[in-house]
A and B are shown apart, each in its own frame.
Chain A
Amino acid sequence: MSIDTNKYRLTERNKYGRIDLIAALIGIVICIVGYMSNSEQFNFAYLIAFTFWVSLALGALFFTMLQHLTTATWSITVRRISESITVTLPWLFILFIPVFLGLDDLYLWTHADAASDPLLLPKLGFLNVTFFTIRTTIYFTIWSALAIMLRRTSLAQDRGDSEKYAAKMRTISAGGMVIYALTVSAAGFDWLMSLDPHWYSTIFGVYYFAGGFVGSLAMITGIALLLRYKGILKNEITPEHYHDLGKLMFGFIIFWAYIAFSQYLLQWYGNIPEETIWYLHRWDGVDGTTEWKSVSLILLFGHFFLPFVILIFRNVKRNFVMMSIMSIWILVIHWIDIYWLVAPTIYHHAPHISWIDIGPTLAIGGIFGWIFWRNLTAEPIVPIGDSRLENSIKFVNR
């Protein structure tokens, strides 16, 4: 290896971490004030923020495992970024506690009168507080274990024995990918789909995953570009790497739209009231006076048409400014997507974004970012022990 091992350690250790910590503290203050002024509104805002940040961490976990499974070389230079995102998962489990405390406000099936609803009664064996909590604990245990195992193996690889540890990470990812698919899908059902417990869609978990993966690609790209603006990893993460990240982003923008449309088309065709009600809430509304239609259209254009026609061009994917804009835009539209899934449950007539919504997003995001920067800066910011690192740096699209 001709690469200087000291070069890849950041000297200014926790500058962004401190900024994030301040953001988190401001967020927590807003959360407390918000909770006191309107606890129901706060609980929904918190669920939106929680599922948003968890989806990004899960997307990064998928990215890490995918690269190991395909033994991709190009992505090695960005691997530490995605690994550092995934290790927020154990901390996000602690941040689940406010959701747990707000179950009564959030989920209809926790209410005592749910048993008298003939449609809900058969579902209560699955949808009850005890089993719900056990399931969430299982999800986070599995995800945290995968994230920590992959990161520890990757760090062990820094000290040598590249092939052995690469094989180990591949093995973890192979089993992990299967469990990941099942748990993420189930988490989507639990946290988001059960907000409207009468409604069901078997593809819903995939929809939650698709949005999260696009979001985390945007996040990885955005962080790499932020480092680049600071003069870090300028020669390691080149336009070739952004080109590939852009290709994945483009592909999964289409995947998101494909899944969203697959879910919509079947329910539209079937035209069964208990299925279409979910879309009715997000289009014309039950009484025909809903403003949610505009948010649905914003998603259609902002989450699909616009990124599609922009990211299709090669020059966009290789342009730092354009990729910065697209990264930020995709993260914003992904938040709107989650908002669109959750908020119509409480605001039937119109979207209602207030200062209370800012609190949880800022608080969880701040903690998320703080942990991320702590992990990224604690170790070399590229896997220096990977024998394919040099090939990854020299990688060219052709």
Chain B
Amino acid sequence: MDKNPKVVGMLARYESAGALLKAAEKLRDSKYSKFDCHSPFPIHGMDDAMGLKRSPVGYFAGLGGTIGLSVGLGLQWWTSTVGYPLVISGKPLNSYQAFIPVAFGLTILFAALGAFAAMLIFNKMPQFWHIVFHSDQFAKFSDDGFFVSVEATDPKFDEATTRVLLESIGGTDLEVLQES
């Protein structure tokens, strides 16, 4: 084991969802940027409290939808007029009316896939390393623990002052996270 383990962040536990919300606001107002809140359930208003920007996922859903629509129409147009020009029930080869249900379906599918992919990317998932993995008590976040984690890479991070800040807003069970 390393004699001087590297400090990667800090973890503090809070009493309730309300306390966590207040702590997030305080950190946001203290200009911290690399911190996260962990709770057993989603907390209403947390996005604002943490100062998060609006999610760009919607635009990727839109992009996916547009691609899906083009692929759906293009595939059907090519197969029925160029690839396999078969006359079906006396209708024109390029019967765009009949293409619409499939194109619609592909629009939805690609929009959903686009949103899903964008969600994973912007959540930085899958993640194999995170500071909270170095905590012993962190597993409680999926039970009854409300945690705030601050990363050491945050420009405002300082072991002493961050500790004072986290404790001043009601943080308990303070844990300095170290890479072992």
Contacts and interface: CB of A to CB of B under 8 A. Distances in A.
B126 interface: no
Contacts of A265: 97-98, 100-101
Interface string A112-153: 000000000000000000000000000000000000000000
A398 interface: yes
Contacts of A314: 58
A398 B90 CA distance: 51
A264 interface: yes
B97 A312 contact: no
A261 B100 contact: yes
Interface residues of B, number: 12
Contacts of A398: 44-45, 47
Nearest to A270: B89
Contacts of A261: 100
A265 B58 CA distance: 30
A312 B62 contact: yes
Interface of B: 44-45, 47, 58, 62, 89-91, 97-98, 100-101
Interface residues of A, number: 9
Interface string A71-96: 00000000000000000000000000
B43 to A, nearest CB: 11
B24 to A, nearest CB: 15
A234 to B, nearest CB: 23
Contacts of B90: 271
A314 B97 CA distance: 30
Interface string A243-266: 000000000000000000100110
A268 interface: yes
A271 B89 CA distance: 9
Given A314-B58, A398-B47, 11 more contacts: A261-B100, A264-B97, A265-B97, A268-B97, A269-B97, A269-B98, A271-B89, A271-B90, A312-B62, A398-B44, A398-B45
Contacts of B44: 398
Contacts of A312: 62
Nearest to A261: B100
Contacts of B100: 261, 265
Contacts of B101: 265
Nearest to B47: A398
A398 B91 CA distance: 48
A314 B89 CA distance: 44
Interface in A302-332: 312, 314
A75 to B, nearest CB: 20
Contacts of A271: 89-91
B68 to A, nearest CB: 15
A261 B101 CA distance: 10
Interface string A369-389: 000000000000000000000
A312 B90 CA distance: 38
Contacts of B45: 398
A264 B101 CA distance: 12
B91 to A, nearest CB: 8
Contacts of B91: 271
A346 B47 CA distance: 58
Contacts of B58: 314
Nearest to B101: A265
A314 B54 CA distance: 11
Contacts of A268: 97
Nearest to B62: A312
Nearest to A264: B97
Contacts of B98: 265, 269
A314 to B, nearest CB: 8
**What are the nearest 10 A-B pairs in CB distance?**
A268-B97, A265-B97, A261-B100, A398-B44, A398-B47, A398-B45, A269-B98, A265-B100, A271-B89, A265-B101
B33 to A, nearest CB: 22
10 contacts: A261-B100, A265-B97, A268-B97, A269-B97, A269-B98, A271-B89, A271-B91, A312-B62, A398-B44, A398-B47
